[in-house]
Structure 1
Amino acid sequence: MDEQLKVALVQTSLVWEDPRANREDLGIKIDAISSDVDLIILPEMFTTGFTMSPQNIGKDEGPQTLIWMQEKAKQKDAALMGSLIFYENEAYTNRLLFIEPNGKTSIYDKRHTFTLAGEDKVYKAGDERLIVNYKGFKICPMICYDLRFPVWARNTEEYDILVYVANWPEPRIMAWDTLLKARAIENMVYCIGVNRIGSDEAGHKYPGHSVVFDSLGKDLVFSSKEEIVTATLSKKHIQEVRNKLKFLNDRDHFSLE
């Protein structure tokens, strides 16, 4: 039997530095998603936009949003993921949460903080990859700037799905499109990119371009407007491509120090 995973990509504008308003807006959008979805993906920093002033956000907003995500995941009987500002151990992180319907929570802290915007001076970088086993699929979640670093995403664990959540601006959107396709092809996985849309108070414009590529680089869904799009991923597709082509068998072996 072919295992399948139906994913929903929430491409949305965000209210600047207002977690409550964003939770309310996203709550309405999530409620409207059909009941047969298995995984709902939100953009990077979906409660605030990509702000370099986390001190403007209450330190309890991260845990509040975690509880909200758990409630939504249970309500929809679907996993929910996205990144947000999280304050812990006297430091701010750009933290991705993967919440399963039963409340199980996995975390990934952004490894490559965006030095061009000074993110490295404000947010503590993570140093561990995350692989989530969910409904028969191995999922590797990453955040925005991580996309530019292929070694960090290299498929050494035989994962099936690579996900990037982002606030990726319009001037560099060609890099987004190109690198997402490359990550799918080189890792022989589904590669999903979920970007925001609209503009923020820092003057950046975001064109969306949320997309799902299969393991051969074919786009299954693409959007450049504010909407929620869905795609169904097939375990059989991954297995057939890898069994036929076997490119991962020839990958270089390395270690990260």
Structure 2
Amino acid sequence: MSALNLSVLQQPLVWMDGEANLRFFDGLLAGLTDRDLIVLPEMFTTGFAMEAAQRSLPEARVIEWLREKAAQANAMVGGSAAIQTEQGAVNRFLLAEPDGTLHRYDKRHLFRMAGEHQHYLAGERREIVTFRGWRILPQICYDLRFPVFSRNRDDYDLALYVANWPQARSAHWQALLLARAIENQAYVAGCNRVGVDANNHSYSGDSRIITPQGEIVAAGEPHQPAILNAQLSLETLREYRERFPAWRDADDFHF
């Protein structure tokens, strides 16, 4: 499949109320048609908090909901959630396909400035998800600051960054998303929340869908809920990478 119809949901989150968040996204997803991939923000069931895993919905409930939405939309649906496992808490990106297939990625880089590394376990590896002919790299928030981890080894076409990225550092968010697209010659989608959380952190959103050449094809208005839609072309991506093969001259190292 050459074209990928992508939707990014830049939305507010209800603090620590998983079922309320699921009901809210129920309404939004019901209006989305002809999509291939629908992306929700980081910790979309709770908001970003160190205690979220203890107060979050069980993973089974979140997976059940994602699978239901994916089947209804005939699209892959995903976002991250705070999940309590037998080993400890993780910030886990869950992606459900319409047939029920589930993909998991645990956040590798934990945001120490908020103490996330003291409350959550770091993921051990990155994951590549293949769906409808597209190779997709799921990443979470702070991961965006570490280019070696998201380096394209000619193994992905689209990188997804879901976030609760505060307004105070929005300029960093926007610049780094653009850099990741250009340096990796891949599409990049950044899905950030809006609103103010219970810790009084303000989120301006500034979600983006960016082409491999750095063109912003969809952008969320600051502080406003939005659904960003774009159609991505695998043929255009491949043609560009052949026409301008900077990836062939990449330094020979990887994480």
With normalisation by structure 1, the TM-score equals 0.96
> Which position in structure 2 is the counterpart of 1:122?
119
1:159 aligns with 2:161: no
Matched to 2:34, the amino acid is D
Q: Deviations over 1:80-131 (max 9, x none)?
A: 0100011112300000011100000010000000000000000101011110
Q: Supply the distance in 2 between the matched residues of 1:231 and 1:101 (Cα, whole angstroms).
A: 20
Does the Cα contact within 8 Å between 1:13 and 1:196 map onto a contact in 2? yes
Aligned mate of 2:52, from 51, 54, 66:
54
User: What is the aligned partner in structure 2 of residue 113 from structure 1?
Assistant: 110
1:88 to 59, 80, 85: 85
- In 2, Cα distance between the equivalents of 1:181 and 1:101? 30
Letter in 1 for 2:163: A
Q: Report whether the alignment pairs 1:250 with 2:254.
A: no
Counterpart of 2:121 in 1: which secondary structure? coil
What is aligned with 2:130? 133
CA apart distance, 1:56: 4.3
Which string of whole-angstrom CA distances, capped at 9 and with x for unpartnered residues, describes residues 42-75 of structure 1? 00000000011135415x5222011110011011
Count of aligned pairs between the two proteins: 253
Counterpart CA distance in 2 for 1:186 and 1:56 is 38
Q: Give the distance between the partners of 2:99 and 2:201, measured in 1 at CA.
A: 37
Tell me the amino acid that sits aligned with residue 11 of structure 2.
T
Partner residue, 2:64:
67
Aligned residue in 1 for 2:19: 20
Query: Structure 1 stretches (4+) deviating beyond 3 angstroms?
Result: none
SS at match of 2:149: helix
Query: Which residue does 2:36 correspond to in 1?
Result: 38
TM-aligned CA deviation for residue 25 of structure 1: 0.4
Counterpart CA distance in 2 for 1:201 and 1:249 is 47
Q: Distance in 2 between matches of 1:150 and 1:19?
A: 32
Q: Give, in angstroms, the shift of residue 158 of structure 1.
A: 3.0
Asked if residue 227 in structure 1 is aligned to residue 245 in structure 2, the reply is no
5+ residue gaps, structure 2, are: none
SS at match of 1:40: strand
Q: CA RMSD in A?
A: 1.1
Provide the rounded CA distance (Å) in 1 between the counterparts of 2:53 and 2:4: 38
Q: Once the 2 structures are TM-superposed, how far is the Cα of residue 228 of structure 1 from its aligned partner?
A: 1.0
Question: Are 1:9 and 1:230, in contact at CA under 8 Å, matched by a contact in 2?
Answer: yes
Distance 1:161 1:116, change over 3 A: same
Unaligned runs of 5+ in 1: none
Aligned mates of 2:122, 2:6 — CA distance in 1? 28
Q: Matches of 1:54 and 1:77 in 2, distance apart?
A: 30
TM-score w.r.t. structure 2 length?
Answer: 0.97
User: Does the 8 A contact of 2:80 with 2:162 survive in 1?
Assistant: yes
Q: 1:144·1:166 contact (CA, 8 Å) conserved in 2?
A: yes
Residue by residue over 1:179-207, the C-alpha shift from the partner in whole angstroms, topping out at 9 and shown as x without a partner, is 00000000000010000000100110000
Pair 1:176 & 2:185 matched: no
Native 8 Å contact 1:54 1:92 kept in 2: no
